[in-house]
A and B are shown apart, each in its own frame.
Chain A
Amino acid sequence: MIARIYVNLKRDVSDPQGNAVKGALESLAFKGVEKVHVGKYFVIELDDMRRDQAESLVKAMCEKLLTNPVIEDYSYVIEK
């Protein structure tokens, strides 16, 4: 099983990296970019288990270690 976890800064946390990337894209003449958010992406290979077990495990790992809930939100996708 594969868990793909997407971590982003919360909306009210400043993202200078995102702004810098947006500026770089604009300077390379890419048009139509309104905003850039830079986040993290984890790919975790899990043992085979029930889907609900995998979800509980992923949530627990996110909340305990993989994210800082003060400044980050997360979402995930689990594939068999």
Chain B
Amino acid sequence: MKKVKFGVVIFPGSNCDMDCVHVLRDVLGQETLELWHKERNLQDCECIVLPGGFSYGDYLRTGAIARFSPIMEAVTAHVKTGKPVIGICNGFQILCEAGLLPGALIRNRSLRFICKPVHIKVETKNTPFTNFTKKVLTLPIAHGEGNYFIHAEGLKDLKDQDQIVFRYCDAGGKVTPESNPNGALDNIAGIVNKERNVLGMMPHPERCSERILGGIDGKHIFQSIIHTFTGQI
């Protein structure tokens, strides 16, 4: 069976990188490289993962310094060839700061760091990240700055181009104000770029890919990527 080559980027301050490596390499059996942020060569990785954590201590703004790491030049070139990138939590913040995704992540409305499982509705199956998932997923969030913001014209664009991938919802899949943990505009928990090869999401799929940790909804997102490359699960 063909293996997909994943590259998990490690910035100084990333702390979810080894969870991503474990899920991809040990749980899903894919070839997985650890890429230090100073490397300039992605070594033919087919899919890049920007993991969660506190790159550069969240100094200045979350993701603001990591976006200038040497490896980001290669990641940008990788994106331009149409290959997939998934940014999780801090990874999502870095992608927005780098301009690879529109909008920005700002401080949670409650000003609290929120760490709990949430439900998210899969708004579109038309991405390499969601073509194999259920309609409603339960994943953990753990963030202080997950409040997605974009100006009105940008939001209209996201809607017109079907770029909103995940919205916070209740257990039944209904998108409600009560199910929004951080004040994110339009309950947005994850988006793709116009070309649909870059996903940014605030919840952590890598913390939810083994039953012993409480659920496997996260695994389906990685399996969607594998399915896109190999036609297999």
* A interface, CB within 8 angstroms of B: 9, 12-14, 16-17, 20, 65-66, 68, 70-71
Q: Cβ of B64 and Cβ of A68 under 8 Å apart?
A: yes
- Of the listed stretches B107-115, B188-196, B211-219, chain A binds B107-115
- Give bound CA distance, A38 to B60, whole Å: 14
Which residues of chain A are near B142, meaning CB under 8 Å? Answer: none
> Given A20-B111, A70-B104 in contact, is the A14-B147 Cβ separation under 8 Å?
yes
Cβ contact of A65, chosen from B60, B150, B183, cutoff 8 A: B60
B60 contacts A17, C-beta separation under 8 Å: no
- Measured between beta carbons, the chain A residues less than 8 angstroms from B61 are 68
What residues on B are CB-neighbors of A16 within 8 Å?
107-111, 183
Inter-chain CA distance A70–B100, complex, in Å, is 13
Contact A65 B64 (CB under 8 A): yes
A12–B105 Cα gap in the complex (Å)?
14
* Contact B183–A14 (Cβ < 8 Å): yes
With CB as the reference atom, state the residue of chain B lying closest to A38: B107
Q: Is B173 close to A, CB under 8 A? A: no
What separation, in Å, do the CA atoms of A1 and B162 have in the docked complex?
49
Q: Determine the chain B residues whose CB is within 8 A of the CB of A66 once the complex forms.
A: 60
Contact with A along B80-124 (1 / 0, CB 8 A): 000000000000000011000011101111110000000000000
Nearest chain A CB to B145's CB is how many angstroms away? 11
Does A17 lie within 8 Å of B111, measured CB to CB?
yes
Which B residues lie within 8 Å of A14 (CB)? Answer: 106, 109, 147, 149, 183
16 pairs, A vs B, C-beta closer than 8 Å: A9-B106, A13-B106, A13-B149, A14-B109, A14-B147, A14-B149, A16-B108, A16-B109, A16-B110, A20-B111, A65-B64, A65-B68, A68-B64, A68-B97, A68-B104, A71-B149
Q: Give CA–CA (A12, B108) in the complex, Å.
A: 16
Q: How far is the CA of A16 from the CA of B106 in the complex (A)?
A: 10
Q: How large is the interface on B (under 10, 10 to 19, 20 to 34, 35 or more residues)?
A: 20 to 34
Contacts of A17 in B (CB 8 A): 107, 111
Q: Which residues of B contact A70 (CB under 8 A)?
A: 96, 102-104, 149-151
Assembled-state Cα–Cα distance A76/B60 (Å)? 17
Least CB distance from B58 to A in Å reads: 13
**Residues of B177-222 whose CB lies within 8 A of A:** 183
* C-alpha gap A12/B107 in the complex (Å): 14
B150: A residues at CB distance < 8 A: 70
A12 touches B147 (CB 8 A): no
The distance in angstroms between the C-alpha atoms of A9 and B151, with both chains bound, is 13
Q: How far is the CB of A74 from chain B (nearest CB, A)?
A: 13
Interchain nearest-CB distance for B215 vs A (Å): 30
User: In whole Å, how far is A5's beta carbon from the nearest beta carbon of chain B?
Assistant: 12
Tell me the complex Cα distance, A66–B110, Å: 25
A77, chain B: closest CB distance, angstroms: 20
List, in ascending order, chain B residues with CB within 8 A of A9's CB.
Answer: 106
Q: Which 5 A-B pairs have the closest CB atoms?
A: A70-B104, A71-B104, A16-B109, A16-B111, A68-B104
